[in-house]
Amino acid sequence: MILWTIDKIKTVLTFSKEKNVVSNAHIVFKVISTIIFFAIAITASDLTDALILLSYPIILAGLTRKFRVLFESLQAIILPVSLLFLLTWLLSPEGPLSMYTVIRAATISLRISALALTLLIIFSFTNPVSLSAFLEKCRLPLALTQSIILTWRLIPLVLKDFLEALASLKLKKYPTWKTLIPLTVVSLEKAFRISETLYIKGFGWSKKRTYITHLGDVKDGIIMLGLVMLISLTLFIL
């Protein structure tokens, strides 16, 4: 079950180059809308609010015309969210037989699910180079902006190597802990190659670089921001 979850996480964290409203949206509006959604997810207090929050990742999946991404994201979070619900339900001071306990556990789980699904969908359709270019325009340190590209590209590769190494060791009937040795070596090698590629492209020679990646379309970004504001307004009215 854990390996299955890791495989789904690897799938949804891999950047998709397909063109749609979410992938084309301007990175500034993506960041702002994500921050606002995170804020309203924190302030949501009851089950109705949590269900309204859950509509946002569903709408985003509809905008991408790829409900498969939503399904993969749901599979990736189902195990940790289920454990969260179970622990919240069992460890509640009111006791597991209380209806208030069940409602509270469901509310927390749905809020976390809405936030996690939203982040995974946005990650799937966001080019890390665009985010790094935006942060660099905000005059953030170069080490931070380039670390985003390196980490974002490296995580899916590491998870893929982990699954392949584990499958190979299982066929040879080796202990699972031995997976860490080849995985660590391969991960370090991939990190070195990616950083070397950045170096060849000119990163590190000067503080100014030319990005060929567009920051996104303002109109599509306004659509994402408008959806978040509509959900915020709905929660405020209710």
- Tell me the per-residue pLDDT of 192-237, one tens digit each, with 9 for 90 and over: 666 666 655 555 545 555 555 677 788 888 999 999 999 989 888 8
Higher pLDDT, 9 or 139: 139
Percent of the chain with pLDDT over 70: 69
Mapped onto helix, strand or coil, the DSSP state of residue 47 is helix
pTM of the model: 0.74
Mean pLDDT of the chain: 78
Predicted pLDDT of residue 3: 61
Q: Distance from first CA to last CA of the chain, Å, rounded?
A: 39
- What are the helix and strand counts (H, E) for the chain? 10, 0
Q: What is the pLDDT of residues 1-45, one digit of tens each?
A: 566 666 666 666 666 677 888 888 888 898 899 999 999 988 887
Q: Which of 125, 152, 123 is nearest to 18 (CA)?
A: 125
What would the mean pLDDT of 143-152 be, rounded to a whole number? 72
Of 67, 76, 59, 66, nearest to 11 by C-alpha is 76
Residue of 179 and 230 predicted with greater confidence? 230
User: What is the pLDDT averaged over residues 128-134?
Assistant: 78
